[in-house]
Structures are given as structure tokens and as C-alpha cells.
Amino acid sequence: MRNEIPKAQVYIESLIPQEAASKQKSRQFAEELGLGRISLSPSEGQLLSFLIRLHKCRKFVEVGTLTGLSAQYILEGMDGEGTLWSLEKAEVHAQKAQAALADHPAGSKAHLLVGDARVTLESLASEGPFDGIFIDGNKAAYGDYLTWAEKNVRKGGLIIADNVFLSGAVWGDPTQQKFNDKQIKALQDFNKRLADSTLYESVLIPTAEGMNVAVKLF
Ligand SMILES: C[S@@+](CC[C@H](N)C(=O)[O-])C[C@H]1O[C@@H](n2cnc3c(N)ncnc32)[C@H](O)[C@@H]1O
């Protein structure tokens, strides 16, 4: 949940070109659902694209589609050439995402899978190994998504996860949005595992929400 926007972010985003109509559509849909503040910001989206392009990913998985905003940044990072499987639990979110992606030049490269990602991820395994995954779904299940990624993302692949600060709850700050102990423990364990240098080369980027970026070494 993005609350107060830091001045650095305002400045950075003043330098980024306005988002295309298909992305504005995703934002509009998220606003209509009352969820505008949980989409990636333009600078976070740009970072996601940038990492995926640098890593030359062509087979990518996303957990947590919402209205398809981050999916568009992922497709752009793959230069419109790769395939994205984007997983979303809420049918209504997936429908909105489909409508926004229909307006994106690479939208047909996204396959939306509706259902609990812990189930749909298993059905996807036969398409792997994957070049990377973006984790932005149910916070309490981040550990389950990581367990799946450790089996199905290739050696040298990317694991990127958003909201890893849980608005400060991981270091004990009181937060506006209430997180339960299970969610907090899940994120603390998740960050700890990605920080294990025998398993990952990783960097935890201090974006407003915390974005963990890791290369899988095994
Ligand atoms: C933070 S939003 C994703 C935002 C999106 N990545 C973006 O930036 O445009 C989280 C999404 O995960 C979905 N979600 C929550 N639990 C899920 C689950 N168990 N399986 C799949 N999706 C889930 C929610 O319905 C919501 O749409």
C-alpha cells in the first residue's frame, strides 16, 4: 500500500514520460476497484522493465496481476518477444487486466491464469523452467511462491518481489494497514532467504515499499 509519496519519487517520476493509454487504463480500473494505491508506481514499473530487459528474460511469471499494470511493464522488458504467465485470484481483477492488456501492443503475449496462485503455479510448472518471476500476490504466501520459484526458475534466473518491507512491519513499525504475525514472519523469512549469499546474489532496493531483486545461483 503506497501512502505518502516521498519527494525523491516525485522528482524521479517527473522525469519519466507519461504512461501510455493502456497503462492509464489499468490505473483507472484499479482506482474504480478502490485499489489504486497497490499498483506499482511508474518508477517501480520502469525498474521492473529495466531488470527484465538487462537479464534478457523471455519466459516470465507474475503472481498478482491486479489490473495488468505491472504485466505491461514486464512485457515491455521482454521487448514484446517473450511470454508472460500472470496469475490472479480475483476474477474481476483478471477481467479488467485482460481489457487493459488488449490495448497494449504486446498484450497477446500475456496469459492470465485465474485462481489461487499456490494452485495455478503447480499447473504451470510443465511450461518451465522460467527466466524469472515477479512476486506481488498474497503476502502470507511469499514463502510458498519462493519455494515454487526455487524449483521452476532456471539457475541464473531472476526473482523479484514487491512490498517486502510490508510498510515497515518487517522491522516492527506500527503500520496503517494491519498485518498479522503470519504475514510479517513470512516476509521476514523471505527476505532472509534471499539474503543468503550461498543461494542468491541479491539486492534489497529501498523503494517506498521495498523491492527485493535476486539472481538464483543454484
Ligand atoms: C498488489 S496487487 C498486484 C499489483 C500488480 N502487480 C500491479 O502492480 O499492477 C496484489 C494482487 O494479488 C492478488 N492476489 C492475492 N492473493 C492471491 C493469490 N492467493 N493468488 C493469486 N493472486 C492473489 C490480489 O487479488 C491482487 O490483485
Residue 200: helix, strand or coil by DSSP? strand
Q: Which domain holds residue 208?
A: 38-216
Residue 1 forms part of a structural domain: no
E strand spans, 41-122:
59-63, 83-88, 110-114
Residue nearest to atom 14 of ligand 1 (CA): 137
CA-wise closest residue to 160 among 197, 118, 202, 120: 202
| CB distance 113 to 129 below 8 Å | no
- Bridge pairing between strands 153-162 and 211-216: antiparallel
Residue 123 forms part of a structural domain: yes
Residue 23 forms part of a structural domain: no
- Bridge pairing between strands 200-205 and 211-216: antiparallel
Q: Which residues pair with 110 in a beta bridge?
A: 84
Q: What is the pLDDT of residue 6?
A: 83
The C-alpha cell of 69 is what?
Answer: 499494470
pLDDT tens by residue, 44-92:
999 999 999 999 999 999 999 999 999 999 999 999 899 999 999 999 9
Residue among 23, 25, 63 whose CB has most ligand 1 atoms within 8 A, to mutate: 63
Residue 181 forms part of a structural domain: yes
Residue 18 forms part of a structural domain: no
Q: How many angstroms separate the alpha carbon of residue 5 from the centre of ligand 1?
A: 21
Residue 163 forms part of a structural domain: yes
* CATH code, domain carrying 101: 3.40.50.150
CA distance 214 to 203: 6
User: What is the number of the ligand 1 atom nearest to the C-alpha of 141?
Assistant: 19
Side chain identity, residue 81? E
Q: Is 164 in the pocket of ligand 1 (CB under 6 A)?
A: no
Q: Is 138 in the pocket of ligand 1 (CB under 6 A)?
A: yes
- How many structural domains does the chain have? 1
User: What is the number of the ligand 1 atom nearest to the C-alpha of 69?
Assistant: 9
Q: What is the pLDDT of residue 102?
A: 98
Low-confidence residues of the chain, pLDDT below 70? 1-3
Residue 72 forms part of a structural domain: yes
Residue 106 forms part of a structural domain: yes
The C-alpha cell of 177 is what?
Answer: 494497514
